[in-house]
Structure 1
Amino acid sequence: MLAGVSVDYYTRLEQGRERRPSDQVLDALARVFHLDAEASEHLHQLARARARRYEVDGQDEQVKSHVLLLLDSWSHGPAAVLNRRTDVLAQNALSLPSSKG
């Protein structure tokens, strides 16, 4: 409320579901949290880094071939690769449900 943003919007920011907060919103949050210039700049850098990281569609959905090879060779226990939404993108044979029943 003090920053002039809704509770819902602020919650989305905290949870990382709002990817591109404006400079005005970041400035308002920095003011409300009494951040000094250095901390305020850091907040802006964090927000810009997050926006860039997710701009490329599907980038976090692709498992690199060397990771797939590692999964296939891992025989010590179950292993899986998850995306940021915790969807299983790849897994080794030990993490698959057993067909025995």
Structure 2
Amino acid sequence: MGGYGVWDLAIHNPKTFAAIVPLSSGGQISKAEHLKNTAIWAFHGAIDKIVPLEQMTDMVTAVEQHQGSVNLTIYPDLGHDILRTTLSNQELYSWLLKQKSRVELPL
């Protein structure tokens, strides 16, 4: 349930994370607005038999509807187990290091 937890943690703590990287999951579409200031790069396998791809695409669409910043990578030949492939993506680490919080915190 890790990917669902990533979405949930960011939704309930919108001022905490500059970016999140949910894998093979979906989230609470009704609360997607809470993620409008969090950069998101989501990953999902197209042939995932555990979590349907639609759960991810529905969440991504919901965040985008609130002008959130979302990238989605779909692995066409992979199922649910995408962790190793995703963690080998060096571009992901460069992207994460570039993210800054878009929420103004009080002084």
Task: Give the TM-score, by structure 1 length.
Answer: 0.28
Higher RCO, Cα 8 Å, sep 6+: 2
Structure in which a larger fraction of residues adopt strand: 2
Q: Find the structure with the greater CA-based Rg.
A: 1
Task: Give the TM-score, by structure 2 length.
Answer: 0.27
